[in-house]
Amino acid sequence: MNTKPVITYFSNFWKLNQKEIDFLVERADLRLLKKKAFVLEKGQVCNHFIFVVKGCLKMYKVDDKGRFHNLQFASENNWISDYGSFYNDEPSELFIESLEPTEIIQFEKNNVFELYDNHVVFDRNFRIIIENAFIEQQKRILQTISSTAEERYLYFIKKYPHLLNRISHVQIASYIGVTPEFLSQVRKKMI
Protein backbone atom coordinates (compact mmCIF):
# COMPACT_ATOMS: atom_id res chain seq x y z
CA MET A 1 0.00 0.00 0.00
CA ASN A 2 0.94 3.62 -0.27
CA THR A 3 2.45 4.18 3.14
CA LYS A 4 3.10 7.91 2.93
CA PRO A 5 -0.27 9.16 4.19
CA VAL A 6 -0.23 6.78 7.12
CA ILE A 7 3.15 7.91 8.32
CA THR A 8 2.26 11.52 7.89
CA TYR A 9 -0.99 11.23 9.79
CA PHE A 10 0.39 9.30 12.68
CA SER A 11 3.56 11.26 13.18
CA ASN A 12 1.43 14.35 13.64
CA PHE A 13 -0.10 12.82 16.73
CA TRP A 14 2.37 10.32 18.10
CA LYS A 15 6.12 10.46 18.55
CA LEU A 16 7.32 7.27 16.94
CA ASN A 17 10.80 6.12 15.95
CA GLN A 18 11.48 4.57 12.57
CA LYS A 19 11.09 1.02 13.83
CA GLU A 20 7.70 1.78 15.34
CA ILE A 21 6.55 3.58 12.23
CA ASP A 22 7.50 0.60 10.06
CA PHE A 23 5.75 -1.77 12.42
CA LEU A 24 2.62 0.36 12.33
CA VAL A 25 2.57 0.90 8.60
CA GLU A 26 2.87 -2.83 7.91
CA ARG A 27 -0.33 -3.36 9.86
CA ALA A 28 -2.35 -0.47 8.47
CA ASP A 29 -4.96 -0.98 5.76
CA LEU A 30 -6.04 2.03 3.79
CA ARG A 31 -9.64 1.79 2.59
CA LEU A 32 -11.82 4.02 0.48
CA LEU A 33 -15.54 4.12 1.18
CA LYS A 34 -18.37 5.50 -0.88
CA LYS A 35 -21.18 7.40 0.79
CA LYS A 36 -23.50 5.13 2.80
CA ALA A 37 -20.97 2.29 3.00
CA PHE A 38 -20.98 0.08 6.08
CA VAL A 39 -17.83 -0.56 8.08
CA LEU A 40 -19.73 -2.49 10.74
CA GLU A 41 -23.24 -3.96 10.80
CA LYS A 42 -25.35 -5.22 13.68
CA GLY A 43 -24.61 -8.86 14.41
CA GLN A 44 -20.99 -8.72 13.24
CA VAL A 45 -18.09 -8.73 15.63
CA CYS A 46 -16.17 -5.49 15.36
CA ASN A 47 -12.70 -6.64 14.31
CA HIS A 48 -11.03 -3.33 13.59
CA PHE A 49 -9.81 -0.09 15.00
CA ILE A 50 -10.61 2.59 12.48
CA PHE A 51 -8.90 5.90 11.94
CA VAL A 52 -10.60 8.45 9.69
CA VAL A 53 -8.23 10.20 7.30
CA LYS A 54 -10.87 12.11 5.36
CA GLY A 55 -14.66 12.10 5.39
CA CYS A 56 -17.11 11.21 8.12
CA LEU A 57 -18.56 8.10 9.73
CA LYS A 58 -21.44 7.67 12.14
CA MET A 59 -21.94 4.86 14.66
CA TYR A 60 -25.56 4.21 15.62
CA LYS A 61 -28.06 1.80 17.08
CA VAL A 62 -31.47 0.91 15.69
CA ASP A 63 -33.86 0.20 18.56
CA ASP A 64 -36.75 -2.28 18.60
CA LYS A 65 -39.13 0.44 17.37
CA GLY A 66 -36.93 1.10 14.37
CA ARG A 67 -35.61 4.41 15.63
CA PHE A 68 -32.00 5.42 14.96
CA HIS A 69 -29.72 6.67 17.72
CA ASN A 70 -26.34 8.14 16.84
CA LEU A 71 -23.68 7.36 19.35
CA GLN A 72 -20.68 8.93 17.70
CA PHE A 73 -19.47 10.80 14.65
CA ALA A 74 -15.90 10.34 13.48
CA SER A 75 -14.38 12.75 11.00
CA GLU A 76 -10.79 13.69 10.13
CA ASN A 77 -8.23 12.34 12.63
CA ASN A 78 -10.80 10.59 14.83
CA TRP A 79 -10.82 6.97 15.92
CA ILE A 80 -13.94 4.87 15.92
CA SER A 81 -14.75 1.30 16.90
CA ASP A 82 -17.22 -0.69 18.94
CA TYR A 83 -14.75 -1.46 21.72
CA GLY A 84 -17.19 -3.66 23.59
CA SER A 85 -17.65 -5.94 20.61
CA PHE A 86 -13.95 -5.73 19.72
CA TYR A 87 -12.54 -6.77 23.10
CA ASN A 88 -15.24 -9.23 24.13
CA ASP A 89 -15.71 -10.85 20.72
CA GLU A 90 -19.44 -10.18 20.94
CA PRO A 91 -21.77 -9.46 18.02
CA SER A 92 -22.24 -5.73 17.86
CA GLU A 93 -25.54 -3.93 18.40
CA LEU A 94 -24.21 -1.08 16.31
CA PHE A 95 -23.74 0.06 12.74
CA ILE A 96 -20.83 2.14 11.50
CA GLU A 97 -21.63 3.86 8.22
CA SER A 98 -20.14 6.60 6.08
CA LEU A 99 -21.99 9.88 5.69
CA GLU A 100 -19.70 10.98 2.87
CA PRO A 101 -17.10 9.37 0.64
CA THR A 102 -14.54 8.51 3.28
CA GLU A 103 -10.94 7.40 3.55
CA ILE A 104 -10.02 5.29 6.55
CA ILE A 105 -7.08 3.39 7.95
CA GLN A 106 -8.08 0.07 9.47
CA PHE A 107 -6.19 -2.03 11.98
CA GLU A 108 -7.25 -5.63 12.17
CA LYS A 109 -7.72 -7.02 15.68
CA ASN A 110 -4.68 -9.33 15.64
CA ASN A 111 -2.57 -6.46 14.44
CA VAL A 112 -3.79 -4.23 17.25
CA PHE A 113 -2.69 -6.82 19.77
CA GLU A 114 0.65 -7.12 18.00
CA LEU A 115 1.09 -3.39 18.34
CA TYR A 116 0.42 -3.62 22.06
CA ASP A 117 2.73 -6.57 22.53
CA ASN A 118 5.70 -5.38 20.52
CA HIS A 119 6.00 -1.70 21.25
CA VAL A 120 5.14 -0.07 24.54
CA VAL A 121 4.40 3.18 22.80
CA PHE A 122 1.17 1.75 21.36
CA ASP A 123 -0.16 0.65 24.72
CA ARG A 124 0.43 4.18 25.90
CA ASN A 125 -0.95 5.95 22.85
CA PHE A 126 -4.11 3.93 22.73
CA ARG A 127 -4.51 4.45 26.47
CA ILE A 128 -4.40 8.18 25.88
CA ILE A 129 -6.78 8.00 22.93
CA ILE A 130 -9.35 6.14 24.93
CA GLU A 131 -8.88 8.35 27.97
CA ASN A 132 -9.73 11.37 25.87
CA ALA A 133 -12.71 9.61 24.35
CA PHE A 134 -13.83 8.68 27.85
CA ILE A 135 -13.60 12.28 29.03
CA GLU A 136 -15.70 13.47 26.09
CA GLN A 137 -18.27 10.76 26.71
CA GLN A 138 -18.51 11.74 30.35
CA LYS A 139 -19.33 15.30 29.39
CA ARG A 140 -22.00 14.02 27.06
CA ILE A 141 -23.64 11.91 29.75
CA LEU A 142 -23.72 14.83 32.17
CA GLN A 143 -25.26 16.93 29.46
CA THR A 144 -27.83 14.39 28.47
CA ILE A 145 -29.10 13.88 31.99
CA SER A 146 -29.04 17.55 32.97
CA SER A 147 -29.81 19.71 29.92
CA THR A 148 -32.73 20.53 27.67
CA ALA A 149 -32.72 19.77 23.95
CA GLU A 150 -31.81 23.38 23.21
CA GLU A 151 -28.74 23.27 25.43
CA ARG A 152 -27.65 19.97 23.93
CA TYR A 153 -28.01 21.42 20.43
CA LEU A 154 -25.96 24.48 21.38
CA TYR A 155 -23.28 22.24 22.82
CA PHE A 156 -23.25 20.17 19.65
CA ILE A 157 -22.73 23.28 17.54
CA LYS A 158 -19.89 24.37 19.79
CA LYS A 159 -18.18 21.00 19.81
CA TYR A 160 -18.65 20.02 16.17
CA PRO A 161 -18.67 23.28 14.19
CA HIS A 162 -16.89 21.51 11.32
CA LEU A 163 -19.77 19.03 11.01
CA LEU A 164 -22.62 21.53 11.06
CA ASN A 165 -22.79 22.10 7.33
CA ARG A 166 -21.74 18.59 6.40
CA ILE A 167 -24.41 16.48 8.07
CA SER A 168 -28.19 16.74 8.13
CA HIS A 169 -30.34 17.84 11.06
CA VAL A 170 -31.78 14.37 11.10
CA GLN A 171 -28.33 13.10 12.08
CA ILE A 172 -27.82 15.79 14.69
CA ALA A 173 -31.26 15.20 16.20
CA SER A 174 -30.50 11.52 16.44
CA TYR A 175 -27.23 12.35 18.22
CA ILE A 176 -28.65 14.75 20.80
CA GLY A 177 -31.59 12.46 21.44
CA VAL A 178 -34.64 14.22 20.00
CA THR A 179 -36.83 13.84 16.92
CA PRO A 180 -36.01 15.89 13.81
CA GLU A 181 -39.39 17.59 14.15
CA PHE A 182 -38.61 18.78 17.62
CA LEU A 183 -35.11 19.94 16.67
CA SER A 184 -36.78 22.03 14.00
CA GLN A 185 -39.00 23.66 16.66
CA VAL A 186 -36.01 24.31 18.88
CA ARG A 187 -34.06 25.94 16.07
CA LYS A 188 -37.05 28.12 15.18
CA LYS A 189 -37.35 29.37 18.75
CA MET A 190 -33.59 30.04 18.98
CA ILE A 191 -33.52 32.63 16.20
Give, as ranges, the residues between 54 and 113 that touch a copy of itself (CB under 8 A). 61, 63, 67, 69, 71, 83-84, 87, 93
User: Footprint of a copy of itself on residues 122-151 (CB under 8 A)?
Assistant: 123-124, 126-127, 130-131, 133-135, 137-142, 144-146
Given 7, 37, 53, 149, the residue binding DNA (CB under 7 A): 149
Asked if 178 is part of the footprint of DNA (rule: CB under 7 A), the reply reads: yes
Choice between 34 and 87, CB closer to a copy of itself: 87
Q: Is 115 exposed, middle or buried (0-12, 13-18, 19+ CB in 10 A)?
A: buried
Among 148, 157, 159, 162, binds DNA (CB under 7 A): 148
The residue type at 71: L
Contacts with 143 (C-beta within 8 Å, 6 or more apart), sequence order: 151, 152, 155
* CA pair distance 67, 85, nearest whole angstrom: 21
Q: Does 159 bind a copy of itself (CB under 8 A)?
A: no
- Residue from the set 64, 65, 158, 190 that interacts with DNA by CB under 7 A: 65
Residue type, 86: F
Cα angle 16, 159, 79 (rounded to 5 degrees) comes to: 35
Distance CA 146, CA 152 (A): 9
Nearest distance from residue 166's CB to DNA, in Å?
A: 11
Instruction: Mark residue 49 as left, alpha or beta (left: phi above 0; alpha: psi -120 to 50; beta: remaining).
Output: beta
CB of 42 to DNA, least distance (A): 20
Interaction partner, residue 168 (a copy of itself, DNA, none; CB < 5-8 Å by kind): DNA
Interacting residues with DNA (CB under 7 A): 65, 67, 148-150, 168-170, 177-188
